[in-house]
Amino acid sequence: MIREFGFIHPERGYFQVVGGMPDAADYGEGTIATPLRPSVNHIWQNNSWVHVAPSKPTPEELRARMPPITKRQLRLTLVRNGISLAQVEQSIAAMPEGLEKQEAEIEWQDASQFNRLHLTLLLVATALSLTPEQVDAMWEAALIV
């Protein structure tokens, strides 16, 4: 009879094997046999599985997961939200001279797509007094443009 068995290794963490009755020692020093883990939301604690609530992602983690948008999507969304392209260009022109400003100019003129947490986008959003939540809402709208 083929069965599944659970093990925890101090470095590799939890894993399962299929087959006949294995010996924990076969999987390295410190490996212990456990009952099968009920779900990914369980941790091994005090010789039993304990359910832990999945952690809610932070706003920054959610922003990092947002898909990129195209140059077209970004520009259409800006003007549809009352932000002229000239305002963006003025905010970049007002940046102190240096590498950051040059990179922002290149990104604005030449990038074919934009990531939500790109430094240039964050700098321009700040210069335009946009909150992260406002940018999030515009980003979501841009995804369907």
Q: Name the token pair of 22.
A: 């294995």
Which of 8-17, 19-28, 77-86 is predicted with the least confidence, judged by mean pLDDT?
Answer: 19-28
Task: State the pLDDT at residue 1.
Answer: 66
Question: If DSSP states are collapsed to H, E and C, what string results for 73-120?
Answer: HHHHHHHHCCCCHHHHHHHHHCCCCCHHHHHHHHHHHHCCEECCCCHH
Task: State the pLDDT at residue 19.
Answer: 83
Average pLDDT over residues 114-124: 92
d(CA 104, CA 90): 12
Task: State the pLDDT at residue 96.
Answer: 93
Residue 62 or residue 22, greater confidence: 62
pLDDT digit string, tens, across residues 48-101: 999 998 888 999 999 999 999 999 999 999 999 999 999 999 999 999 999 999
